[in-house]
Amino acid sequence: MPQWIKIDPVTRIEGHAKITLQLDDNGHVSDARFHVVEFRGFEKFCEGRPFTEMPGITPRVCGICPVSHVLASAKAGDALLAVDIPPAARKLRRLMNLGQILQSHALSFFHLSAPDLLLGWETPPVNGTSSG
Amino acid sequence: MDRLKIATVWLGGCSGCHMSLLDLDEWLFELAKVADVVYGPLVDTKEYPAAADVCLVEGAVANTEHVELMHQIRQRTRVLVAFGDCAVTGNVTALRNPLGSAAPVLERAYLDPANLRPALPHEPGVVPPLLDRVLPLQEAVPVDFYLPGCPPPADRIKAFLQELLAGKAPHLTGANLRFG
């Protein structure tokens, strides 16, 4: 009799997900799936809107990495207008992006991974937060 | 005084409100002196506790699982807070509502890119179906307080929580009532 193991929700990741594992008759994993359970549809509802709204809307794709999405829509806007931005602006965008990388790594380590690494796997879940 | 049990949930939203909560930085240690975070994206617990004092709900109600979870949370929570604009109004998550149903957004993302083995998500019992209309939190369950902002700035969250911790009903005024 095949068996399913469900991890729901996957906690302390930067997103919404579940994992399902299917075991065969011998208890070996025969299938493993990672399910992303959140979907909003930016691909569709951004269509037909003024491009000037995009740097306000696309960062809301992800509040953890908003800079990537604001830069992508800003670059798309540049391309639509066929403009080249000044070097200082390019550097500012790059600086902002590097800032996001720093912030995201700090979040991932201190708030999401560190509780397991520092407090150990056996810590009761409710104590296993960044406040320890 | 018993330690306050605080939960947070992340429904249909971007997690930006949770990021703003974490932007409270060292004040989080002050919070940890009087409260435990008992459930949420930052905690490893899979089940919502039997009783929580406060729950901050980020995001709009966008799929069937959100509805079920919110009914459970409402029953088990003393003070329910719509945390951020998506929970308060639907905001960006509800931008698909004028399209009439969930079908147009799903088809655009999963069927139009024909090079990616087009198929609509169908995993009964695992991937929850989208609601045809995204709901702000108060259309799904009764809400006690509203904390607007996209995201609410850290100072606004702090002012709000400080009043709650003092046993008062938070009353936001002026600039703290702004959306966006």
In chain B, domain spans: 4-98+129-177
| B95 φ/ψ angles, rounded to the nearest 5 degrees | -65, -20
| Peptide linkage before B151 cis (omega within 30 of 0) | yes
Instruction: Please determine, for residue B1, whether its predicted confidence score (pLDDT) is greater than 60.
Output: no
Contact residues, chain A, for B112 at CB < 8 Å: 43
Q: How many domains does chain A have?
A: 1
Per the CATH hierarchy, to which homologous superfamily does domain B4-98+129-177 belong? NADH:ubiquinone oxidoreductase-like, 20kDa subunit (3.40.50.700)
Per-residue pLDDT at A119: 81
User: What is the per-residue pLDDT across A101-119, written as a single tens digit (0 to 9) for each?
Assistant: 999 999 888 888 888 788 8
Domain coverage including residue A20 = 1-39
pLDDT 10s digits, A63-107: 999 999 999 999 999 999 999 999 999 999 999 999 999 999 998
pLDDT (tens digit per residue) in B50-63: 999 999 999 999 99
Mean pLDDT of A31-58: 95
Strand B4-10 and strand B52-58: the pairing is parallel
Residue A130 lies in a domain: no
pLDDT in tens, B106-152: 999 999 987 778 899 888 889 999 999 999 999 999 999 999 999 99
Closest CA to B88 of B61, B48, B54: B61
Residues of chain A with Cβ-Cβ distance to B22 below 8 Å are 107, 111
Structure confidence by residue, pLDDT tens digits, B58-79: 999 999 999 999 999 999 999 9
Residue A112: closest CA among A12, A14, A17: A12
Amino acid at residue number A2: P
Do you find a cis peptide bond into B128, omega within 30 degrees of 0?
no
Structure tokens at B41: 């994206």
Are A49 and B96 in contact by the 8 Å Cβ rule? The answer is no
For residue A24, give the DSSP letter.
Answer: -
Residue at A63 is within a domain:
no
Separation in Å, CA of A96 to nearest CA in chain B? 17
Report chain A residues whose CB lies below 8 A from the CB of B126: 6, 18, 20, 35, 37
Q: Is B19 within 8 Å of A107 when comparing Cβ atoms?
A: yes
Residue A96 is assigned to a structural domain of this protein: no
pLDDT band at B30 (very low <50, low <70, confident <90, very high): very high
